[in-house]
Amino acid sequence: MAALNDEQTMLRDMVREWSDNESPVTAFRKLRAAAPVEGYDPAAWRALSEMGLPGIVIPEEFGGTAFGYLSLGLVLEQLGRNLAVSPLASTAAAASAIVLGGSDAAKTEWLSKIASGQVVATLAIDEGPVHDPAKITATVVDGKLSGTKAFVAEGDSAGLFVVAATDGLYLVSDATGVTRSPRHMTDSRSHAQVTFHSAPAERLGDTKLTAQVIDRATAITCAEMLGMAEQAFHTTNDYLKTRVQFGQQLSTFQALQHRMAKMFTELELMRSAVEGALEAIDAGRSDLDQAVSLAKAVASDTLHLVSREMIQLHGGIGMTDEHDAGFYIKRARVLETMWGNAAFHRERFARLNGY
Amino acid sequence: MATAPELDVAANPLESFRTETRAWIAANFPPSLKGQDNSMSALEGPGDLSEDEAAWKAAMGEKGWGVPGWPVAYGGGGLDKAQIRVLQEELARVGATNPIGGMGIMMFGPTLLEYGSEAQKQEHIPAIAKGEIRWCQGYSEPNAGSDLANVQTFAEDAGDHYIVNGQKTWTSGGQWADKCFALVRTDKSQKHGGISFLLIDMTAPGVEVKPIRMISGQSPFCETFFTNVKVPKENLVGREGQGWEIGTRLLQHERNSLSGGGGASRLFAGKPMGTLAKEYRGEDEKGRVPDSDLRMRIVRHEMDSRAFALTLRRAAMEAKSNQGPSAATSIMKNVGARITQDRAELSIEIMGMAGLGWEGEGFSEEELTQTRTWLWGKAVSIYGGSTEIQNNIVSKRILGMLDHQ
């Protein structure tokens, strides 16, 4: 855990308490069964909004708290531990685009609504199943955006889209010319194909802004992955201490102890890499792109390892729908894929370092 | 990392300390030693000091700055943490390294300061602080390496002295050491409780060393034999039977020094792997390392190194803000060892045959050093508690897993 100030410690503890009391994994199980159209529980989103969480990366003059990305990461980590479902990550990423590139009018119009939780916003970037900003084809002609975006998170309910076109980022706030087709995914969250037919679009910035916003979205995703990996690991460790085989607790077997020690080691490195990326964004470092690729590659590899081992070390029970392990591995793979998997970010890291 | 704000020197004692330190270093550090690291001396023996080296060592020893945090009363510098950092920064600024090191500094001194009698501290600490005495560690035995509690070297009570018989192994620098801090058995009826911590003069009759030749060609370790060696009772540290407690405390100092800041700075010294690869393998038409499999493994290694560097930084910040060690410190030894070895393996792979030279014509000095570094590096996952032992510590102490019944 990074060295936190009092404000951050309070924020983390508050969200942790809410997550454990109001949004344990059983809440996700119920939500999956209820399958609301928007993909999340509106009452839970209201509760998070009342805590001011959607405004964490929004300046105070626009109704936010401006606590920064490390703080947002702490929140998402706590929510990720229990697989809480909310449009917080998508909304914050979209808000970052408006903060960085929006006109004064756009900031005034949208940021306070986002900060209060009144508007759910999201990024619409990729056009295929694999993250690749180089393959964007959506275009804007005379302020009208056309193109199809694949697997848009919160695409079922978002009222505001930050959309990537060939020449940069645009804000689409009008439902005119927007059609959504849900895509039901393994993680039971909201993803939709969203098609824009000459939708009115307001320019936010060029492709440099697109890259900056994707970096922020990626770092935010890593924080949720960190919480999931931590919890998957601890659930497994607790299980090994209770399960008896061959007249011994599983946790007494050295072969399993060393696998857990290896995972613990990778988790410590993951935490450093993820917090390092969030801190790099807060500090406005010029090499934050490298820090983000480091974080996403390490986070993807580690969550991949821990989510596989969670099932393996639970044995047969881990394969059942009755157990939570499946929830972790299903969401893990979606987040690993989102904003580029480990291979994508290793390639990008190599390029950024000139080799 | 945050940079220090501009400060009014007169109003800030730390800044006036910096000014004094800078002046003292300028007056005493021979510029000919700039950038010279003596880190290989542990492997290759002390060698003869040049006039400049001797002068620098004497000056630092006299000032107590070889061990800046130790008490002035025993020849240390008596500096606080902030002052030590200033000293390190000022030394680094002019390319000066601390000429005083070794096991006396890293492990034995801090332990003796904690557990030694006043007379023992007076006798041993000042000589360590000046770098006049070389110590070696008498812990491992042929059948008690990782299972250290199984030591058999026996110290028999003979009134005012002990008679020591037995064999130690992996005695780093035993052939150059003046003295040895050893774990010996004083009671055969109990395991941990029968171990004592004893200081043995390596020149005493009955002490014999035999260097062990390693796969790197170097002989930094010895087998050490004790045959009826007479050791005065005043050389017992702590109580009889307290050796296990003292010995494990010393191992914490060892682990810290193996995994801490010093080790890490060496880890990131040298060329980035991508640069080395382009030197030996050239570039493809896009300016990349041409072998894509190698290129990706370089990336994995670089990412691992950076995540480790961030973890070192995080652990230091956590220790500072929580006033205690971070959970992350338990993994440092293993990760440091893994990265060191990966780096060496990658380097010789990149260099091809040029990275496997043993001696003689046709190889650069760097290439021959790389061969030794690679082979020597196999020790880092074994010494100071093997990777497996560290994993046992993590699983039991941090994760609360249990011993097999």
Q: What is the pLDDT of residues B291-304, one digit of tens each?
A: 999 999 999 999 99
Burial class (CB in 10 A: 0-12, 13-18, 19+), A97: buried
Nearest Cα neighbor of B385 from B319, B345, B331, B311 is B331
Dihedrals phi, psi of B390, to nearest 5 degrees: -60, -40
Q: What would the DSSP string read from start to end of A267-333?
A: HHHHHHHHHHHHHHHHTT-TTHHHHHHHHHHHHHHHHHHHHHHHHHHHGGGGGSTTSTHHHHHHHHH
Reported ipTM? 0.91
> pLDDT exceeding 90 applies to what percent of chain B?
67
Average pLDDT in the B367-386 region? 89
Beta-bridge partners for A171: A162, A202
Up-side HSE of residue A244: CA atoms within 13 Å toward CB? 3
**Which tokens go with A14?**
């508050």
pLDDT value, residue B258: 61
pLDDT per residue as tens digits for the range A117-154: 999 999 999 999 999 999 999 999 999 999 999 999 99
Pairing status of strand A178-182 against strand A202-205? unpaired
B198 and B236 Cβ atoms separated by less than 8 Å: yes
Tell me the CA distances in angstroms from B230 to A261, B170, B203, B234, one per residue in order: 44, 22, 11, 12
Helix, strand, coil percentages for chain A (3-state, nearest 5):
60, 15, 25
Helix and strand tally (H, E) in chain B? 14, 8
**Which tokens go with B342?**
């990966």
Task: Compute how many other C-beta atoms are within 10 angstroms of the C-beta atom of residue A270.
Answer: 27
Buried b (16+ CB within 10 A) or exposed e, B64-74: bbbbbebeeeb
> pLDDT exceeding 70 applies to what percent of chain B?
91
Beta-bridge partners for B159: none
**Which tokens go with A183?**
């895509």
Q: What would the DSSP string read from start to end of A137-182?
A: --EEETTEEEEEEEEEETTTT-SEEEEEETTEEEEE---TTEEEEE
pLDDT per residue as tens digits for the range B196-231: 999 999 999 999 999 999 898 888 899 999 999 999
pLDDT at B259 over 70: no
pLDDT at A234 over 60: yes
pLDDT value, residue A273: 98
Cβ-defined contact of A3 to B298 (cutoff 8 Å)? no
Up-side HSE of residue A261: CA atoms within 13 Å toward CB? 28
Average pLDDT in the B6-12 region? 56
Tell me the CA distances in angstroms from B166 to B147, B183, B227, B250, one per residue in order: 17, 11, 7, 22
Cα separation, B328 vs B260, whole angstroms? 12
What type of residue sits at position B222? C
Within 8 A of B274 by CB-CB distance, chain A residues are 350, 353-355
Min mean pLDDT across A30-44, A297-311, B30-44 is at: B30-44
Pairing status of strand A121-124 against strand A168-172? unpaired
Cβ-defined contact of A3 to B289 (cutoff 8 Å)? no
Which residue carries 């995703």 as its tokens?
Answer: A221
B283 and A354 Cβ atoms separated by less than 8 Å: no
Cβ-defined contact of A254 to B404 (cutoff 8 Å)? yes
Which residue carries 């060698």 as its tokens?
Answer: B47
pLDDT at B143 over 90: no
Average pLDDT in the B257-286 region? 74
pLDDT value, residue B3: 44
Cα separation, A146 vs A132, whole angstroms? 18
> pLDDT exceeding 90 applies to what percent of chain A?
97
Within 8 A of B302 by CB-CB distance, chain A residues are 349, 353
Q: What would the DSSP string read from start to end of A229-260?
A: HHHHHHHHHHHHHH-EETTEEGGG-HHHHHHH
Nearest Cα neighbor of A221 from A284, A299, A283 is A299
Q: Which of B278, B306, B331 has the CB atom closest to A268's CB atom?
A: B331
**Which tokens go with B103?**
């096991």
Touching A: B residues 334-393, CB under 8 Å:
334-335, 388, 390-392
Cβ-defined contact of A265 to B335 (cutoff 8 Å)? yes
pLDDT value, residue A290: 97
Q: Which of B275, B289, B401 has the CB atom closest to A251's CB atom?
A: B401
pLDDT at A255 over 60: yes
Average pLDDT in the B116-126 region? 96
- Count of CB contacts below 8 A, A vs B? 130
Average pLDDT in the A253-272 region? 97
Mind telling me the catalytic residues of B? 254
pLDDT value, residue B257: 67
